[in-house]
Amino acid sequence: MLALQENADGRRLAEYLATRARHSEFSERDMAQITTASFFFIASSHGDHPDCSFKGGDPGFVKIIGPSTLEFPDYDGNLMYRTLGNITMNPRVGLLFMSFDGRSYRIRINGDASIHCDAESLARHHGARAVIRVECRDIYPNCPRYVPDLVTVARSAYVPRPGETPPTPEWKRLPEVVPHLPLSDARDAMASGMDTTERDDA
């Protein structure tokens, strides 16, 4: 980074942004944007294998629980556990919050993540299988230039909500996937009318 900054005569600006824009505790603007977000992106890695994932939920699914601490739920997924597996081996993560309205700042966060499955943590997030907590070291606001202005027209039907049963996702209905589903998913599939005859123990 330093070599590229020097080559572009950008060292002065980089130092200014690193010392004036970067911070380690949430500002009011940070909190307002993060706690109303319906999604964000998270990067994790282990060894030479980086990974980037999308995390979504209803606004408020990301909670700020301290001056520099946030947490979010891990919902039902494809059981690959790429993000959680990486966090187990390497807690360092990068988060990107952005609103596709063409005007809201992006928020980049670097921090250390941990996984929590205790009853108190799970109770704060309806439908969570686990809770990921991030102690934020570096919080950067970024200009929204190049972010397109898109219109959000519908919430996801699959987000766990009190009093609602999320529908079975389409990929779990694929004949080539059904034989590999966990038994609990096979039961849900039967309850939703899915054909599970290809799975012997369904």
Q: How do residues 62-113 score in pLDDT, each as one tens digit? A: 999 999 999 999 999 988 999 999 999 999 999 999 999 888 899 999 999 9
**Torsion on CA atoms 87, 114, 168, 37, rounded to nearest 10:** -110
As a 3-state breakdown, the chain gives helix, strand, coil percent values, each rounded to 5, of: 25, 30, 45
> Residue 192: its pLDDT value, please?
62
Q: How many CB atoms lie within 10 A of CB 90?
A: 15
> Residue 178: its pLDDT value, please?
77
How wide is the angle at C-alpha 152 spanned by C-alphas 61 and 75, nearest 5°? 30
* Residue 190 pLDDT exceeds 90: no
Residue among 43, 110, 122 nearest 83 (CA)? 43
Assign 116 to helix, strand or coil. strand
Cβ-in-10-Å burial (0-12, 13-18, 19+) of 167 comes to: exposed
Tell me how far apart the alpha carbons of residues 13 and 19 are, in angstroms, rounded to a whole number: 10
What the block records as the tokens of 10 is: 């950008």
Residue among 54, 55, 64 nearest 32 (CA)? 64
* Residue 147 pLDDT exceeds 80: yes
Tell me how far apart the alpha carbons of residues 116 and 55 are, in angstroms, rounded to a whole number: 17
Tally of CA atoms within 13 A in the half-sphere of 7 that contains its CB: 4
Sign of CA dihedral 22, 33, 41, 105: negative
* Residue 18 pLDDT exceeds 70: yes
